[in-house]
Structure 1
Amino acid sequence: MSADSAVTVLGLGPMGRALAGTFVAAGVRTTVWNRTPGRDGELVERGALRAASAAEAVAASDLTVVCVVDYDAADAVLRRADVAAALKGRTVANLSADTPARARDAAAWAADHGVRYLDGAIMTPTTTIGTPDGVFLHSGPRDLYDAHLPVLSALGGTHTHLGEDHGRAAAYDVALLDIFWTAMAGCAHALAVARAEGVTPEELAPFAKGIGAILPGAIESMAAGVAAGDFSGADNPITSSASSMRHIVATSEEHGIDAGVMRAAAGQAQRVIGLGYGTDGFTRIAELVAGRLAPAGATAGAGAVQG
């Protein structure tokens, strides 16, 4: 990094500490601040600069990286009068997680207060920060992203600019975590069902990994189908999916295991079938939950179902 490279990091939870530590290791002059005192000790020992207040912290660098639990926490710091005044003419790169609407609201607030603003999302865990495996998504003005990319790149991994709309990074974040947490909920439920049937977690794990290996191809196929409006179920009609899900629900409930998530998924599949799309594939659910699925044979828009 150049000798005058500098960054401020607000928020020293596990991810914030990983970001700040990586900046320090890369030779970036790094100022740190956290609402709860005492989390900066190791970072300061390694060369980070401790700020006495958030306003002092943001005044120390042209770029402030924010990484807190959500935008309520971010707003509680950034929208204080003294901090907003110190930020005027400087750049905030907000890597906290929240909704696309909150990201756009934050950008509007920043513009009203003379603050330059980038939104972003970190799609990988703390252990990837500073390694080639980190994945960072950014949205906002392209020239602002380009100007600060040399410092942000010190975090390692890949950095992708998704467009000028400040909500784009959060939209990707929400959609991708939708996949992740739904899958994790399925894993937790599967372990409970297997154990109830006398199958240990260690016995199930190798086969569960095999199921996981199917998903990349399935995701590509589903994405291509939805994009093209092709919901063919020639290889696996949704009636077959619904039958499989009923077996999971039945086995779960025989053991007193909550099957609410699978019941919801099975209910969506059954609604698709009831609307006359039983020969289509599971991807028809994307149309159902978006409220775009009319009964088969109806005129476009007639009888649309709300997801």
Structure 2
Amino acid sequence: MAETTNTPVTVLGLGAMGQALAATLLKAGHPTTVWNRTPGKDADLIAAGANGTASVAEAVQAGGPIIAVLFDHASVHATLDPVADQLSGKQVINLTSTAPEEARELAAWAAAHGVDYLDGGIMAIPPMIGQPGASILYSGSQPLFDQHRATLELLAAAEYFGDDAGLASTYDFALLANMYAMFGGFMHGAAMMRSVGVSASAFAERAMPWVTAMAQMLPAYGEIIDSGDYTTPTQSLAFHKAALDAINRATRDAGVTVDFVAPIKNLIDRQVADGHGAEEFARTIEELL
């Protein structure tokens, strides 16, 4: 049944993201208990009305769902394993950045200890929490998600993907891979432009609309990949090989390393060498599988 009152919530981990989550819950009127391994990070939250605790054991007894926002998969176990006997019948929402198989392992661990488990991938930076544009992707226990959806929506737009606890983090990491590749491309371009006296800020003004325009091609690429038919290219792999060869030469001439563009060049070079030069650029995905 969906919650109808401001249920208590516990937040374990007070890095920048944990603090943003706890502050948002407090602002919305939820009694919020906080814990952090390193003392002192709870001072502002306590001043705002949070219940600070000295131990995990104390924190998990506060009632309501327990949100873990820790450093990594190992830190989740390091935090929760010692109190596993106190968690039976409780609800854990793990918003730590854990890989899909790690999320599935934690779900199995939770089930073995009688814990209702929901895994989440945060698609936001701390200042975005509680603001439009932030989203958190969830998978695992649907009853837990349904019960606390109203609270989760306070933090960010909440979307549920199914009972496979690793599915949300697969989406999360796949989207982050897009992000890092995009930022890497920007860094590469900005380094090239610096060689001719153009600032990164000035380059950004041109890069942003260009990248935005190119992103409109993603649905078409998705359809081509799903069809498996790469035989009618708009621009062939051979064309892109020539472009990447030229970009590499220009990059070196500018005194810039090719670390960001070399991987995609290597993928295309292999496909052309294997006889796929006349096919569509989207065929590069087959080299990844």
Give TM class, smaller chain: over 0.9
Is 1:236 matched with 2:238? no
Moved more, 83-92 or 162-171: 83-92
- 1:193 aligns with 192
> Would you say the 8 A contact 2:128–2:134 is kept in 1?
yes
Q: Displacement, 1:177? A: 0.6
2:63 pairs with one of 61, 76, 81:
61
Aligned length: 287
Report what 2:201 is aligned to. 202
Query: Using a 3 Å threshold, how does the CA distance of structure 1 residues 209 and 4 change in structure 2: closer, same or farther?
Result: closer
- Name the amino acid aligned to 2:141: P
Aligned partner of 1:47 in structure 2 is 49
Distance 1:4 1:40, change over 3 A: same
Aligned match of 2:173: 174
Residue 105 (structure 2) aligns with: 105
Secondary structure in structure 2 of the residue aligned to 1:9: strand
Alignment of 1:26-37 (within 5 A): 26-37=28-39
Q: Which moved more, 1:208-217 or 1:58-67?
A: 208-217
Q: Is 1:19 matched up with 2:24?
A: no
Deviations 1:11-70 (A, max 9, x none): 100110000000000011100000011011111111111112111111102300011221
Name the amino acid aligned to 2:144: L
Counterpart in 1 of 2:122?
Answer: 122
1:2 is displaced (CA, Å) by: 4.9
| Deviation of 1:3 (Å) | 4.6
Deviations 1:220-269 (A, max 9, x none): 12112112223245311111211111122112222332102312211111
Which residue does 2:78 correspond to in 1?
76
Cross-structure match for 1:300? none
The amino acid across from 1:35 in the alignment is: R
Listed one character per residue, the Cα deviations across residues 268-287 of structure 1 (whole Å, up to 9, x for unaligned) are 11111122221222110101
Which secondary structure does the structure 2 equivalent of 1:283 belong to?
A: helix
Contact 2:237–2:268, Cα closer than 8 Å, also in 1: yes
- Does the 8 Å CA contact 1:10/1:64 hold for their aligned counterparts? yes
CA distance in 2, matches of 1:202, 1:164: 44
Instruction: Work out the percentage of aligned pairs sharing the same amino acid.
Output: 35
What amino acid maps onto 2:41 in structure 1? R
What is the SS of the residue equivalent to 1:166?
coil
Which sections of structure 1, spanning at least 5 residues, go unmatched? 291-307
Structure having greater relative contact order (Cα 8 Å, sep ≥ 6): 2
What is the Cα deviation at residue 172 of structure 1?
0.4
Distance in structure 1 (CA, Å) of the matches to 2:53 and 2:202: 51
Cα root mean square deviation, aligned: 1.5
Instruction: Please give the alpha-carbon distance, in whole angstroms, between the structure 1 residues aligned to 2:132 and 2:189.
Output: 32
* CA–CA separation in structure 1 for the residues paired with 2:78 and 2:265: 41
Match of 1:133 in 2: 133
Does the 8 Å CA contact 1:70/1:98 hold for their aligned counterparts?
yes
Equivalent-residue separation in structure 2 for 1:7 and 1:32 (angstroms): 9
Once the 2 structures are TM-superposed, how far is the Cα of residue 215 of structure 1 from its aligned partner?
Answer: 3.3
- After TM superposition, the score normalised by the length of structure 2 is 0.95
Q: Match for 1:149: what amino acid? A: R
CA distance in 1, matches of 2:5, 2:138: 25
Q: Is the 8 A contact 2:6 2:29 kept in 1?
A: no
Asked whether 1:88 is paired with 2:88, we answer yes
Equivalent-residue separation in structure 2 for 1:32 and 1:162 (angstroms) = 28
- What are the Cα deviations for residues 75-111 of structure 1, in whole angstroms up to 9, with x where unaligned? 110111xx21221110100011121010001111111
Gaps of 5+ in 2: none
- Bigger mean CA deviation after superposition, 268-277 or 232-241: 232-241
CA contact (8 A) 1:233 1:282 kept: no
CA distance in 2: counterparts of 1:59 and 1:215, whole angstroms: 50
Find the residue that maps to 2:67 and give its secondary structure: strand
Looking at structure 2, the residues matched to 263 and 213 of structure 1 have their Cα atoms a distance apart, in angstroms, of 23
Deviation at 1:212, TM superposition (A): 1.3
- Aligned with 1:119: secondary structure? strand
